[in-house]
């Protein structure tokens, strides 16, 4: 009976080790795929979300400043004409 438990323990240990190897291979494949996608995206000159949001915020600020300046000019022109 003791040898049967030893065989089952060995099989259990082998399965545990195999699962560990499979998990490591999965993580390595994910890392390699992410790296490949990052390189592909970099080669295509795509912008990151952070860069896009920063430029969008700058454009919004410029529009608001433009509107404020246009209103100021209109007020000055009205004052000068009136």
Phi, psi angle pair for 46, to nearest 5°: -75, 150
Look at the block and give the residue holding tokens 């209109």: 74
What does the alpha-carbon distance between residue 57 and residue 81 come to, in Å, rounded to a whole number? 36
The mean pLDDT of 53-65, rounded to a whole number, is: 98
Give the domain range for residue 36: 1-46
Top-confidence residue, 59 or 46: 59
pLDDT digits (tens, 9 = 90+) for 22-47: 888 989 999 999 999 988 888 888 88
Q: Are 23 and 60 in a shared domain?
A: no
Claim to verify: residue 36 and residue 68 sit in the same structural domain: no
Structurally, the chain folds into a number of domains equal to 2
13 and 29 in a single domain? The answer is yes
Taking the C-alpha atoms of residue 77 and residue 82, their distance in angstroms, rounded to an integer, is 8
63 and 23, same domain (yes or no): no
Distances (CA, A) of 11 to 1, 28, 77: 16, 26, 90
User: Both 52 and 69 in a single domain?
Assistant: yes
Residue 4 sits in the same domain as residue 32: yes
52 shares a domain with 32: no
């Amino acid at each position: 009976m003791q040898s049967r438990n030893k065989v089952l323990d060995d099989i259990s240990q082998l399965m545990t080790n195999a699962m560990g190897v499979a998990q490591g291979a999965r993580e390595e494949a994910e890392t390699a795929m992410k790296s490949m996608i990052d390189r592909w995206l970099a080669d295509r000159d795509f912008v990151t979300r952070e860069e896009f949001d920063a430029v969008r915020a700058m454009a919004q600020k410029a529009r608001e400043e433009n509107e404020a300046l246009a209103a100021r000019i209109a007020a000055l022109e009205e004052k000068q004409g009136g």
